[in-house]
Amino acid sequence: MKFEKIFPETLLELIRKELDNSSSFEYIEGIQPFLMKYDNVPYYVYIKNLSSAYFKDRPGTTRAQLPKKVSFDDIKKSPNIFIFLGYDQENDVFVCWDFNVVKERLNVGKSVSFYSRISYQEEVEEGEFLRINLKNGDSPIVFKRKSICDFFDKINTFFDVKSETLSNSTRPVEEDGKIKSITEEELLKQLRPLIKISSPHTLEAISVAEKFYEGKYPKMTMRDWLQLVKNID
């Protein structure tokens, strides 16, 4: 196994090459880690190079090491999901470990190792998500870098959701590029006080909804928005 070390800035560029193609993605700040949004859900993402774990009896084991960083203290207290990705340049593959477990391990030691297997990194194909069941109890997901948008689309299917920001987040009901029903509780909490009153503030509610979706639904007309907010339960 030969692993080349890639600089943090380059790792950010590599993941953004794919994420920037999605209208659901928004880069906010930082390099490693960096803060982003996908489908209006905030995530902290930290990418490290994968290398050999140097186990004589398990030469096919790889690892990515999570260092101790001052910035992780605030991230650990944050309600946002923290995603740790290991990158294998030779196979152009990411490995993602359970974000619940990873966040709990932030700054618990000078360096915390997370493991994978080179065989999975070599065999995974674009569009596939392979799960490794390791002896230490971890079950990371392996996938091609080009599948990163698909990964975020399906993120709540890979691991149990314990993050409030993700568990409370759903997508609206869509049809032909238009929203048919608002299901995001975060948005509904903002709209109900404007609509469920004797004199509804309809235009204000429409403005709040448009801002929330950040121009993702250009086919929506004023009549569509009006009908949408009027139908809120």
- At residue 182, the pLDDT reads 87
Q: For the chain, which ranges sit under pLDDT 70?
A: 1-3, 161-171
pLDDT tens column, 22-60: 999 999 999 999 999 999 899 999 999 999 887 877 788
Tokens of 9: 């800035």
**C-beta separation of 43 from 81 below 8 A:** yes
The Cα 41–Cα 226 span in angstroms is 25
Sequence-separated contacts (24+) of 168-176 with Cβ below 8 Å:
169/39, 169/40, 169/41, 171/39, 172/213, 176/219
- At residue 163, the pLDDT reads 56
| % of residues, the chain, pLDDT over 90 | 60
Extents of the domains making up the chain: 8-164, 173-230
Tokens of 12: 């950010």
**C-beta separation of 96 from 140 below 8 A:** yes
**Yes or no: is domain 8-164 CATH 3.40.1350?**
yes
